[in-house]
Every structure is written in structure tokens, then in C-alpha cells.
Amino acid sequence: MSDETGEVFAYDIQKVLKALPHRYPLLLVDKVKSLDLGEKIHAVKAVTFNEEFFQGHFPGAPIMPGVLQIEAMAQAAAILGIETLELAGTGKLVFFMGIDNAKFRSPVTPGCLLDLEVEFLQKRSRVYKFKGRASVEGKTTSECEFTAMIADPPKA
């Protein structure tokens, strides 16, 4: 996040936990490197061997599922949306509505730092369209466009 002087502030796991309702094992954003409110976000997921999905995907050749890369991009987009609209701590949730043009380019393995870059494409009252790209050391691993809605949680 930056202020009017352009100074970049650290966005650690504590701030991520305040913005997102996700928790282990489904929390897929570890920190935010930069956040340009109303525009874009650059977040990071540290992919470690002890992620639960590596037990079955695939034993002996662990690869992060592409759908989880998209989920990580969506979580970064949720932070962007929640922070842009100043809704952190309100209990509002961000729900997927659609995923378009998903492409999987390169495998993600344990030990990688997965960069998540997401930008707004379109903003309407409660529905937003994003473009996301996941990469490792500058090499694209997956990309997609997706639509999400900010809403109250479902009633119990």
C-alpha cells in the first residue's frame, strides 16, 4: 500500500488475516508486496512442501494444482477489493462468479515463491472483473480473468 508520497508500506501476514476470512489450509496469500488501491495488487504465496495438497498431487512429483493458483489470485483480488472499498473487518466476503480464459503455463513446485499480480478490469457496484497472473521468477505459471461479487456471508 502506498500513501500520497508514493512510499510503499509492508503488508504482512497480520494485515492479510485482517482482510481475508481464509485460514490454513486454504489461506493462499502470505504477504502483499504492493497495493495500489483501486488499481492493482502484487502478493506472494510461499509454496512449501508441507502444503496438504502435495500429499496427493502428485506423490513423488509434487505440483501445485492450477485451480489453487487461481484461488490464490482470487484471494489477492479480494484483498484489493476489500481494501479499496475500506471493508476490512466488516465481515463482507468476496465470492467467485466466473472464471474466463484460464491458462496454465508452467508447474509450481515446493520451494517456489509464487508472485500473484491482479488488476481491476471493470468495476460495478458490487461486481468486479479482474485479470490475474501467477508467476515464479518472472515466468508465468497461470493466468486468467475472473469475476467476483462482494456480499454479506450466507445466513446460517
Active-site positions read 57
Specify whether the CB–CB gap between 132 and 117 falls below 8 A: yes
Express each pLDDT in 76-86 by its tens digit.
Answer: 999 999 999 99
Q: Quote the pLDDT of residue 1.
A: 47
Specify whether the CB–CB gap between 48 and 55 falls below 8 A: no
pLDDT at 4 > cutoff 80: no
Q: Quote the pLDDT of residue 10.
A: 58
Specify whether the CB–CB gap between 94 and 21 falls below 8 A: no
Using pLDDT thresholds of 50, 70 and 90, give the confidence band for residue 11: confident
Express each pLDDT in 20-66 by its tens digit.
Answer: 999 999 999 999 999 999 999 999 999 999 999 999 999 899 999 99
- List the one residue out of 112, 141, 119 whose CA is nearest residue 44: 112
Express each pLDDT in 96-146 by its tens digit.
Answer: 999 999 999 999 999 999 999 999 999 998 899 999 999 999 999 999 999
- List the one residue out of 74, 90, 86, 91 whose CA is nearest residue 128: 74
Q: Quote the pLDDT of residue 156.
A: 78
Beta strands per DSSP E along 26-112? 31-36, 40-46, 93-104
Question: Distance of alpha carbon 141 from its chain centroid, rounded?
Answer: 14
Strand partners, 119: 40, 131
Class of domain 13-151 as given by CATH = alpha beta
pLDDT at 3 > cutoff 60: no
